[in-house]
Amino acid sequence: MRPVTCAAVDLGATSGRVIVGTWGKKPQLTEVHRFPNAFQSLGPNDYWNLPGLWNEVCTGLRKAKQQFPHIASVGVDFWGCDHVLLNDAGRLVFPAHAYRDARTQPGLKSLANHGLDHIYAATGLPNVFYNSSLQLAEVARNCPAVTDLATRCLFLPDYFNYLLSGKMENEISIASTTQLLDVHGRDWSRAALEFFHIPPQWFSTPILANTKLGPVRGFPELKGVTSIVVPGHDTACAFDAMPADPAGGDLYISSGTWSLVGCENDTPILGPEALQARIANERTGCGGYRPLTNLMGLWLLEQTLKNFSARPQSAKEWAALVNATEKLPAPKVLLDVADPVFGNPPSMRAAIDAQLKKKKGKPPANVAGYARLIFDSLGAGHADAMRTLARLGGKTFRRILMVGGGAKNRLLCQATADAAGLPVVAFALEGTALGNLASQWVALGVVRDRAAFRAHLAPTLQQTVYQPRL
């Protein structure tokens, strides 16, 4: 195999990075730039600092080109749902809101009371506060002049692809996070667009990942580099990087700010029970189905730590917290980690305490107590999601594959194995970045397809297996 080097722009809600990968006997990854990210509040609303993000991406790509002069291509993945509205000239006509913005709450309640069955049957996505459908409906309702100004809607990876290539395209995996894509096809749902009063001309038919957009433009340092559409949704990238058993039987967990628990399936999982279980029928970059449930993840701990002055700052302090947490007894009452009350509360500690009070449980006494409560609750939430997917999808899971920040947390991995009664295989890999790079290597013809990539990758990975304890 000839070595081919590509750059992955991997943007998460709390941090971003540019990672360079070289395909050879085994993928070699180098992080060349990392930077923090967070939404910012202005008045009652929350926004992303897109110019700041783009500046960091440009800095990272310049560093990448300096260290690796023969970069062949670049691909971009992001979190789901958020978007920009542009005019014909490609200028922003509305600010980029963050998905945790409370502006969608009226629409969320309205949909819950009217039309949800119809929308779920059409799109396969449940009613969740961050859905693009609710965000865009709020704009059309409260800022109607925008519908005259805007001619295109691009989701954030689509937009950064446009900044790189000059081409406006919607990609299918990120489109599938919107509650606007036809669950039975690869185009937008006319029924959903009409229901939410969203102009259909804002969108183009989504394209599949592994598509070359053309040379990077307006970026002299990247002359000769090709812009490639990868799975725009970071979860789709993370799932692609899972070294899954070709025979099936694997449950996937991408554990980070969110816990995404899902699998690959030939068909969507639909119906009243699936809607009640909040199963989201999202897509792979190739258009296949990856039904999943979206749970609050390590965001719970990240936000809880803000309520304590003595939060860990160094690796030594984190190790001390983990050790203290491990010695505590299992909590008698666990959190419901699917509760939307944890989406963006003023105080996460207060929100946790309030839910415990409703369940007649006692708040933890210290940071370690909250950490133990969160890890055990997430483990139970993962197991519940697994059982629901198995029952409604007619599947038998034999093991759980975990990537992301949570895969490095032995307490969370063990809690998941214990609650699920299955082994958890935790991989030390940059899942989202690696899935991003895999798509580029397929597009460049270096790797035949995703299955071949997984088969080549699996023997090279460092993994830790957590067996369930009786």
Write the DSSP string, 106-171: HHHHHHHHTTHHHHHHHH-----TT-HHHHHHHHHHH-TTHHHH--EEEEHHHHHHHHHHS----B
Q: Cα 296–301–306 angle (5° rounding)? A: 125
Range of the domain at 168: 4-234
Q: What is the CATH number of the domain that holds 386?
A: 3.30.420.40
Q: pTM above the 0.85 mark? A: yes
Given 10, 46, 234, 384, the catalytic residue = 234
Per-residue pLDDT tens over the stretch 186-228: 999 999 999 999 999 999 999 999 999 999 999 999 999 999 9
**252 and 207 within one domain:** no
List the beta bridge partners of residue 71: 5
pLDDT above 70 for 1 = no
Q: Are strands 226-229 and 71-77 parallel, antiparallel or unpaired?
A: parallel
- pLDDT for 58-116, tens place per residue? 999 999 999 999 999 999 999 999 999 999 999 999 999 999 999 999 999 999 999 99
Per the domain annotation, does 350 fall within a domain?
yes
Lowest mean pLDDT among 20-29, 33-42, 177-186, 202-211: 20-29
Could you tell me if residue 10 is inside a domain? yes
User: In the β-sheet with 250-255, what is the strand arrangement from edge to edge?
Assistant: 280-283, 289-296, 258-262, 250-255, 399-403, 424-427, 463-466
Q: Is 70 exceeded by the pLDDT of residue 408?
A: yes
pLDDT mean over 172-196: 98
| pLDDT tens digits, one per residue of 285-333 | 999 999 999 999 999 999 999 999 877 878 788 888 888 999 999 999 9
Coarse DSSP helix, strand, coil percentages of the chain, rounded to the nearest 5 percent = 40, 20, 35
Q: Is 182 a catalytic residue?
A: no
Residue 416 CA to residue 402 CA, distance in Å, equals 10
The Cα 301–Cα 411 span in angstroms is: 13
Residue with tokens 């009243």: 272
Mean pLDDT of the 268-289 span: 96
Q: Are residues 46 and 101 in the same domain?
A: yes
- Whether 445 is covered by a domain: the verdict is no
- What pLDDT sits at residue 404? 86
**How far is 423 from 330, CA to CA, in rounded Å?**
20
Question: What SS3 state is found at 176?
Answer: coil
Does residue 33 register a pLDDT over 70? yes
Angle (CA) 351 355 359, round 5°: 165
174 occurs within a structural domain: yes
Same domain, 134 and 196: yes
Give the domain-ending residue among 234, 256, 288: 234
Residue that is last in its domain, among 190, 215, 234 = 234
Judge whether 418 and 334 are in contact, CB under 8 Å: no
How many structural domains are present in the chain?
2
3-state secondary structure of 31: strand
Q: Pairing relation of β-strands 4-11 and 71-77?
A: parallel
Strand 463-466 to 226-229 pairing: unpaired
Q: Which residues, listed in sequence order, are joined to residue 211 by a DSSP beta bridge?
A: 229
In a domain, 317, yes or no: yes
One domain for residues 70 and 166: yes
Do 218 and 290 lie in a common domain? Answer: no
Q: How far is Cα 326 from Cα 289, in angstroms, rounded to an integer?
A: 37
134 and 279 co-located in one domain? no
